[in-house]
Amino acid sequence: MVIGHEIGHGFDDKGSRYDGTGALNNWWTDEDYEEFNKRTHALVEQYNAYTPVGLDPEKFRVNGELTLGENIGDLAGLSIAIEAYKIALEQQGINSLEDAPVLDGMSAAQRLLWSTAQGWRTKSRPQHAEMMISVDPHSPDEFRVNGTVRNIDEFYTAFGVTEGDQLYLPPEERVRIWL
């Protein structure tokens, strides 16, 4: 996932301003750039609504503009990891995540998503969370997981997430930047 995240930076709000030779160059068509901005704006709005656990939502929210590049990277990284896992399964003759064996009571998709979440487990003191939310270009770790998976269709299938569940987003509100 980390490699996919870093590759995603080449196509985030900053990296996408450079062409294939590394030169600062607007290579976008007007139509593509407008669509990219529409999608990234939706991601900004999602993250602007998040407040870390333990902080006052009237005072502290994630700054979706500040964290946009990292949020794009997180979304790209998980999307790429899922696609890579599907390819690896296909090479073993398994045609979908759903057809992969269940191990220790978890499906392939559940294991992948669970392992991603475990990598971001943290606990912060409120004072540290307040400071980080104002200066760090990364979203708080809880949203590097929950903010990302809400936009991934495989998450809904893997865990049976439906309308009314806390992390549910209607399909038309799920952001897909590239994949």
* pLDDT for 153: 97
Side-chain half-sphere of 43: how many Cα atoms within 13 Å?
33
Q: What is the pLDDT of residues 74-112, one digit of tens each?
A: 999 999 999 999 999 999 999 999 999 999 999 999 999
Which of the four CATH numbers 3.40.390.10, 3.40.640.10, 3.40.50.12160, 3.40.50.720 does domain 2-173 have?
Answer: 3.40.390.10
The pLDDT of residue 179: 65
Domain residue ranges in the chain: 2-173
Higher pLDDT, 117 or 20: 117
Q: What is the pLDDT of residue 178?
A: 81
**pTM exceeds 0.85:** yes
Question: For residue 32, which of 139, 175, 177 has the smallest C-alpha distance?
Answer: 177
> What percent of the chain is predicted at pLDDT more than 70?
99
**What average pLDDT does the segment 141-161 reach?**
97
Looking at residues 119-141, what average pLDDT do you find?
A: 94
Tell me which residues are annotated as active site.
6, 74
Cα 2 to Cα 25, 75, 106, distances in angstroms: 27, 11, 23
Q: What is the pLDDT of residue 11?
A: 84
In the predicted model, what is the mean pLDDT of the chain?
Answer: 95
User: Average of pLDDT values for 141-167?
Assistant: 97
Q: Give the model's pLDDT for residue 10.
A: 87
**Tokens 């609504």 label which residue?**
49
Tens digits of residue pLDDT in 31-72? 999 999 999 999 999 999 999 999 999 999 999 999 999 999
- Cβ pair 81, 116 in contact under 8 A: yes
**In this model, does residue 151 exceed pLDDT 90?**
yes
